[in-house]
């Protein structure tokens, strides 16, 4: 088959992409049920994938959809044809394809194969346009942030409204305002990309559809409300209400309402007492909402004129919606007054009449929950799975023409008034408001500028002497000027305080992210990573060497790669340091990049560090960084499959995948960053930045979180990432049981490096540990099968190679299908491929590309945005090879070198103990890192352990818990192979949760016994401190252990020294 056209090229002026030209009518995808010869299918491409196969060929697979159904397409091509083909075959493209529908035995369903031609085509999806000369404004619109209800991205809604010519759009999600920041960012981003557009004039109206409870009922006054209590208010019936922010005061009051409803009035959903809304009404515009609003419900219930007037008086405007929104009422016996569409129209007409009587503008809204009619299937899936029986309403965003047609029964003038004039009037009342403040508000630590400078120079002089080498002084001055000049000294001061607190408690702190790129961070004690170029340094006379031939040999690597040397001045063994990391990775070339200091504290003191942060800044000034969770692919897949099952529908897997993809970003809950603390400067109002709530709306949580996802406000408020990590805990454990200070552990030990080359250094063979060919089992970063396979493929020889591997393993699409293939094919090596984000910038600068362009390319690639046309042009002009550019295009995420270096430093310290203090290493690993322990499987002999390992190794798939247990079994297997003996648990000696060393043997903890947790272990230890156990029954009574645990302990022989009640005689009870 001829690929492409006869010349094997695709001209940009032709619609032919592949094969031969063809004509004919396309068959709707939804009408394809079985095998068919020579058919034409057309539609939008999605789920495009390219899979390499043998003989320099590739398999292209993608879906084609007409929005009613989908079919998978499979096409085999040569590698040479890929670039030309991928100009046209990509997600979102529209294609006409001729081929045959055949049963695919691999996919076990029909696919479109045997392709004879592919042609481009214009978008054939129905495109709705707004032809009205004057446009309406949608004042009631939901996004994916309306949890498990809205299914449209806020950016798509804004883009559609803007393209239609609407001057504004109100976002009114259920009880939340979390889409507003995303919408505002989209408008700003669109303006940056399209300088000539007037989208900056488009008004994003900040709003919410809240749940209103009428605590004014029965003429209650303020004193009555105080007696009523929040718990009573929470159980009042709720109605919907739309609240729009008119100005900046309104924005802050809106955020106060959101916060109060989540923090103090949450009962199944966030509630807003009417009294609270009245209190914060300044700057807000209140609308009566939909059929769930109190006005609509009062009319349905036939309330008298007095009650209706009281309700109407509370609102600034009244709302009506298309009758199809409320079709569900017609067959429902609960709505006795609704028998037809005319009855629904009558209610709308009554609301219009009330507006005229009481002087309230009436607006027509869509109550849009999705963008286009065809998107309704996504919401239908969710509601059906949640148990809704009725046909979902057509809640799509409507054009002005569609709304005028809908409300023509009001008469042409009145329809125009409610659809166009009044919606624009309400929009005009609302000012252009940003949902977040534009300014930075970092906390201020008194004298932090001077303190940072003094602390840094004191440390650097202690290392490099009174007369600093030029490279050292220049780097430190450059950084301090940038840090202090941009107002970041307080950030360094805060981080330093927290690190000092941890060190005082005996725990090292590991740095994360790119903070290790900062020499000032190293100098102030925030990170151990020294970003200077590799160099020698004398700890005694302060001699340093940055320029020798040996140093030049490891340029771009690590000082720990350098050979050992003696100081030529005083004869002292030289220290080695430096990772050659540019400061610009951290703050950019202008020093204005948002700094991000992330630190790994021991998990055992993480909460202490969080509370200490609160002590520094004061209670009420520290909040957990909020997160928003969305439906994952597995959950979405379950929803779709359940929907199809309920409806009795069969769909091809590719159509199921299309539906699953539509749920990306649909909110299903909130949470908190595991270590993110947002700091509010003293004197600032948190509601000028974000509303507040509890994580996952759990009122028992100690911390309150930001309502906005923390990324939305990271340009305003400082976020400290204070995470919990096992490495500092493990090193403290090892320090305590060996007496060796981990700070003194060398990073260039040959025996440690030998772990990455084989198992000989452990005096074992691969056969003894299940065929594992390296000695890194149990080491952080390098103990997984994935990491060990990378080690075997890349063959690291020195410390900097380990840093490269750490970068590769933590990236996305950096190793597999990328660097691994390049190394295997001999195109490049581990030391010249892209491993960390820093590699890109430094390489491009070396090749002559200017610094700012190199930085932008690095940032684009590391965020998975690939290369723009301008970037590719600059790279080609600089002679960057095609393989390098292709590698950049594939990358989705990249690790910073500083982060990789910090992780490898921790890993090598722990590896040192594995070599020289093996009992301590295994005791520490099982105490700290093991996620699953089973004494009977792991510590009752080698044969028992191997039996269970064999069982796991025979399985094709392991559950998460099985995988955890398998990992622990493998570590135990290695321990046995090294002839390290297990000491049986002794009631008098074992620790509740820590493994201990008894002589040369390792004794497991009480918690290693299934069913006997740490608390039960503590009970045993505490009771033994009081007095010995006299019998098994005494043991059971005092420790509160269950009979199942007692039986386990008896079976293991751990209670053999205690008398059993059945064996006692009368003499045992005599004095």
What pLDDT shows up at residue 592?
A: 64
Please state the rounded mean pLDDT for residues 151-159: 96
Confidence of residue 940 (pLDDT cuts 50, 70, 90): confident
pLDDT digits (tens, 9 = 90+) for 956-992: 888 989 999 999 999 999 999 999 999 999 988 989 9
Confidence of residue 732 (pLDDT cuts 50, 70, 90): very high
Q: Which of 844, 820, 816 is nearest to 833 (CA)?
A: 820
Higher pLDDT, 1029 or 400: 400
CA 398/CA 709 separation, integer angstroms: 29
What pLDDT shows up at residue 217?
A: 62
Confidence of residue 219 (pLDDT cuts 50, 70, 90): very low
Higher pLDDT, 206 or 389: 206
Pick the CATH number of 154-429 from 3.40.47.10, 3.30.70.2740, 3.40.50.10490, 3.20.20.140: 3.20.20.140
Q: Is the dihedral of CA 820, 824, 825, 830 positive or negative?
A: positive
Cα–Cα–Cα angle for 353, 356, 357, rounded to 5 degrees: 90
Q: For 688, which DSSP code?
A: G
What pLDDT shows up at residue 9?
A: 38
What pLDDT shows up at residue 226?
A: 52
Burial grade of 439 (CB within 10 A; 0-12, 13-18, 19 or more): exposed
For domain 917-1069, give the CATH number.
1.10.150.870
Listed in sequence order, the DSSP H helices in 58-212 are: 82-85, 154-164, 180-193
- Does residue 233 register a pLDDT over 80? no
pLDDT digits (tens, 9 = 90+) for 115-132: 999 999 988 887 899 999
Indicate the range of 44-48, 780-784, 799-803, 1010-1014 predicted with least confidence. Answer: 1010-1014
Please state the rounded mean pLDDT for residues 166-176: 97
pLDDT digits (tens, 9 = 90+) for 70-104: 999 999 988 888 888 888 898 999 999 999 999 99
What pLDDT shows up at residue 168?
A: 98
- Does residue 235 register a pLDDT over 90? no
What pLDDT shows up at residue 218?
A: 43
pLDDT digits (tens, 9 = 90+) for 37-51: 999 999 999 999 988
Domain 16-120 in CATH: superfamily?
Nucleic acid-binding proteins (2.40.50.140)
pLDDT digits (tens, 9 = 90+) for 808-819: 999 999 999 899
Confidence of residue 1050 (pLDDT cuts 50, 70, 90): confident
What pLDDT shows up at residue 1?
A: 33
Please state the rounded mean pLDDT for residues 549-560: 94
- Does residue 10 register a pLDDT over 50? no
- Yes or no: say if 899 and 511 are a contact pair by the CB < 8 Å rule: yes
CA 781/CA 1071 separation, integer angstroms: 60
What pLDDT shows up at residue 82?
A: 82
Is residue 563 within a helix (H) or strand (E), and if so which, with residue range?
A: none
CA 450/CA 561 separation, integer angstroms: 36
Listed in sequence order, the DSSP H helices in 668-798 are: 726-738, 750-754, 785-794
- Yes or no: say if 645 and 725 are a contact pair by the CB < 8 Å rule: no
- Does residue 3 register a pLDDT over 60? no
What is the chain's mean pLDDT, rounded? 91
Please state the rounded mean pLDDT for residues 925-931: 94
Please state the rounded mean pLDDT for residues 28-42: 93
- For the chain, give every domain's residue range: 16-120, 154-429, 917-1069
Quote the percentage of the chain above a pLDDT of 70.
Answer: 96
52-64 in b/e form (b: 16+ CB < 10 A) is eeeeeebebbbbb
Confidence of residue 4 (pLDDT cuts 50, 70, 90): very low
Burial grade of 350 (CB within 10 A; 0-12, 13-18, 19 or more): middle
Global confidence as pTM = 0.86
CA 598/CA 326 separation, integer angstroms: 51
Please state the rounded mean pLDDT for residues 748-764: 96
pLDDT digits (tens, 9 = 90+) for 840-889: 999 999 999 999 999 999 999 999 998 888 999 999 999 999 999 999 99
Confidence of residue 1053 (pLDDT cuts 50, 70, 90): confident
What pLDDT shows up at residue 826?
A: 92
Confidence of residue 457 (pLDDT cuts 50, 70, 90): very high
pLDDT digits (tens, 9 = 90+) for 497-542: 999 999 999 999 998 888 889 999 999 999 999 999 999 999 999 9
- Yes or no: say if 587 and 595 are a contact pair by the CB < 8 Å rule: yes
pLDDT digits (tens, 9 = 90+) for 632-682: 999 999 999 999 999 999 999 999 999 999 999 999 999 998 889 999 998
- Yes or no: say if 925 and 973 are a contact pair by the CB < 8 Å rule: no
16-120 and 154-429 share one fold:
no
- Does residue 896 register a pLDDT over 70? yes
Q: Tell me how many helices (H) and strands (E) the chain has.
A: 40, 26
**What is the SS3 assignment for 143?**
coil
- Does residue 220 register a pLDDT over 60? no
Where on the phi/psi map is residue 268: left (φ > 0), alpha (ψ -120 to 50), or beta?
Answer: left
CA 332/CA 367 separation, integer angstroms: 21
- Does residue 7 register a pLDDT over 60? no
Q: For 582, which DSSP code?
A: -
């Amino acid at each position: 088959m001829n690929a492409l056209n006869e010349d094997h090229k695709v001209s940009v002026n032709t619609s032919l992409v592949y094969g031969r030209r063809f004509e004919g009518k396309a068959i709707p995808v939804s009408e394809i049920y079985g095998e068919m010869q020579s058919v034409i299918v057309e539609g939008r491409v999605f789920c495009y994938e390219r899979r390499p196969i043998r003989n320099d060929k590739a398999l292209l697979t993608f879906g084609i959809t007409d929005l009613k159904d989908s079919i998978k397409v499979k096409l085999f091509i040569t590698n040479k044809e890929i670039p030309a083909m991928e100009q046209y075959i990509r997600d979102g493209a529209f294609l006409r394809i001729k081929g045959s529908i055949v049963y695919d035995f691999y996919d076990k369903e029909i696919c479109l194969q045997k392709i004879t031609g592919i042609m481009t085509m214009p978008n054939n999806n129905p495109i709705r346009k707004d032809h009205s000369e004057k446009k309406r404004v949608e004042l009631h619109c939901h996004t994916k942030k309306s949890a498990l209800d809205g299914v449209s991205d806020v950016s798509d809604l804004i883009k559609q409204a803007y393209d239609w010519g609407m001057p504004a759009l109100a976002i009114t999600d259920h009880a939340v305002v979390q889409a507003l920041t995303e919408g505002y960012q989209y408008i700003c981003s669109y303006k940056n990309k399209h300088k000539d557009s007037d989208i900056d004039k488009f008004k994003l109206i900040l709003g919410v559809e809240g749940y209103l409870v009428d605590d004014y009922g029965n003429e209650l006054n303020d004193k009555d409300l105080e007696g009523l209590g929040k718990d009573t208010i929470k159980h009042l019936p709720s109605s919907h209400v739309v609240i729009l922010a008119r100005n900046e005061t309104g924005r802050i009051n809106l955020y106060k309402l959101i916060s109060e409803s989540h923090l103090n009035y949450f009962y199944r959903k966030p509630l807003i007492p009417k009294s609270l809304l009245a209190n914060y009404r300044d700057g807000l515009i209140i609308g009566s909402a939909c059929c769930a609003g109190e006005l609509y419900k009062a009319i349905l219930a036939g309330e008298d004129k007095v009650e209706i007037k009281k309700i109407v008086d509370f609102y600034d405007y009244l709302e009506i919606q298309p009758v199809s929104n409320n079709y569900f009422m017609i067959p429902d016996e609960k709505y006795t007054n609704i028998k037809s569409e005319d009855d629904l129209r009558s209610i709308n007409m009554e609301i219009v009449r009330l507006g005229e009587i009481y002087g309230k503008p009436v607006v027509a809204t869509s109550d849009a929950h999705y963008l286009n009619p065809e998107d309704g299937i996504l919401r239908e899936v969710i509601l059906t799975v949640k148990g809704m029986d009725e046909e979902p309403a057509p809640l799509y965003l409507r054009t002005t023409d569609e709304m005028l047609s809908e409300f023509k029964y009001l008469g042409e003038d009145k329809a125009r008034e409610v659809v166009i004039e009044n919606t624009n009037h309400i929009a005009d009342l609302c000012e252009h408001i940003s949902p977040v403040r534009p300014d930075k508000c970092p906390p201020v630590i008194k004298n932090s500028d001077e303190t940072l400078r003094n602390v840094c120079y004191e440390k650097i002089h202690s290392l490099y002497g009174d007369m600093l080498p030029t490279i050292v002084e220049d780097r430190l001055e450059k950084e301090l000027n940038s840090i202090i000049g941009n107002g970041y000294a307080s950030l360094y001061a805060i981080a330093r305080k927290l690190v000092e607190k941890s060190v005082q408690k005996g725990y090292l702190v590991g740095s994360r992210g790119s903070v290790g790129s900062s020499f000032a961070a190293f100098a102030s004690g925030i990170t151990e990573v020294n970003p200077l170029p590799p160099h020698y340094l004398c700890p005694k006379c302060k001699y340093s060497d940055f320029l020798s031939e040996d140093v030049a040999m490891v340029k771009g690597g690590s000082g720990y790669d350098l050979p050992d040397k003696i100081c030529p001045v005083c004869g002292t063994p030289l220290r080695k340091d430096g990772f050659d990391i540019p400061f610009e990775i951290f703050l950019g070339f202008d020093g204005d990049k948002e700094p991000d200091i992330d630190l790994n504290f021991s998990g055992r003191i993480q909460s202490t560090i969080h509370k200490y942060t609160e002590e520094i800044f004061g209670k009420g000034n520290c909040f957990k960084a909020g997160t928003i969770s969305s439906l994952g692919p597995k959950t979405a897949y379950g929803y779709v499959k359940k929907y199809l099952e309920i409806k009795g529908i069969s769909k091809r897997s590719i159509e199921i995948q299309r539906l699953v993809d539509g749920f990306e970003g649909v909110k299903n809950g909130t949470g908190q960053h595991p270590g993110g603390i947002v700091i509010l400067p003293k004197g600032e109002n948190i509601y000028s930045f974000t509303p507040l709530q509890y994580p996952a709306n759990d009122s028992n949580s100690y911390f309150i979180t930001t309502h906005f996802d923390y990324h939305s406000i990271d340009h305003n408020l400082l976020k400290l990432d204070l995470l919990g990590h096992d490495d500092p805990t493990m090193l403290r454990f090892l320090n305590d049981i060996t007496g060796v200070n981990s700070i003194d552990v060398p990073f260039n030990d040959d025996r440690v490096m030998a772990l990455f080359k084989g198992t000989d250094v452990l005096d074992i063979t691969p056969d003894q540990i299940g065929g594992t060919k390296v000695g890194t089992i149990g080491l952080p970063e390098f103990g997984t099968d994935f990491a060990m396979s990378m080690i075997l493929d890349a063959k690291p020889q020195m410390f900097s190679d380990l840093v490269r591997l750490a970068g590769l393993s933590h990236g996305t699409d950096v190793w597999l299908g990328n660097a691994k293939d390049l190394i295997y094919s001999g195109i490049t090596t581990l030391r010249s491929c892209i491993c960390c984000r820093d590699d890109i910038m430094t390489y491009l600068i070396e090749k002559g590309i200017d610094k700012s362009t190199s930085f932008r390319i690095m940032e684009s690639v590391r965020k998975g945005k690939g290369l723009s046309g301008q970037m590719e042009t600059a790279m080609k002009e600089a002679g960057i090879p095609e393989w390098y550019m292709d590698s950049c295009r594939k990358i989705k995420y990249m690790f910073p070198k500083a982060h990789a270096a910090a992780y490898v430093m921790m890993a090598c310290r722990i590896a040192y103990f594995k070599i020289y203090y093996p009992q301590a290493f295994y005791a520490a690993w099982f105490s700290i890192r093991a996620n699953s322990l089973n004494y009977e499987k792991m510590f009752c002999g080698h044969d028992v352990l191997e039996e269970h390992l064999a069982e796991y190794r025979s399985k094709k798939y392991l559950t998460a818990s099985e995988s955890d247990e398998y990992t622990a079994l493998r570590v135990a297997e290695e321990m046995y192979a090294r002839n390290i003996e297990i000491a049986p648990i002794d009631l008098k000696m074992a620790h509740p949760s820590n493994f201990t060393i008894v002589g040369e043997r390792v004794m497991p903890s009480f918690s290693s016994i299934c069913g006997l947790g740490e608390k039960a272990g503590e009970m045993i230890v505490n009771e033994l401190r009081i007095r010995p156990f006299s019998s098994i029954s005494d043991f059971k009574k005092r420790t509160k252990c269950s009979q199942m645990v007692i039986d386990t302990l008896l079976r293991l022989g751990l209670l053999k020294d205690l008398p059993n009640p059945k064996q006692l005689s009368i003499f045992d009870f005599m004095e």
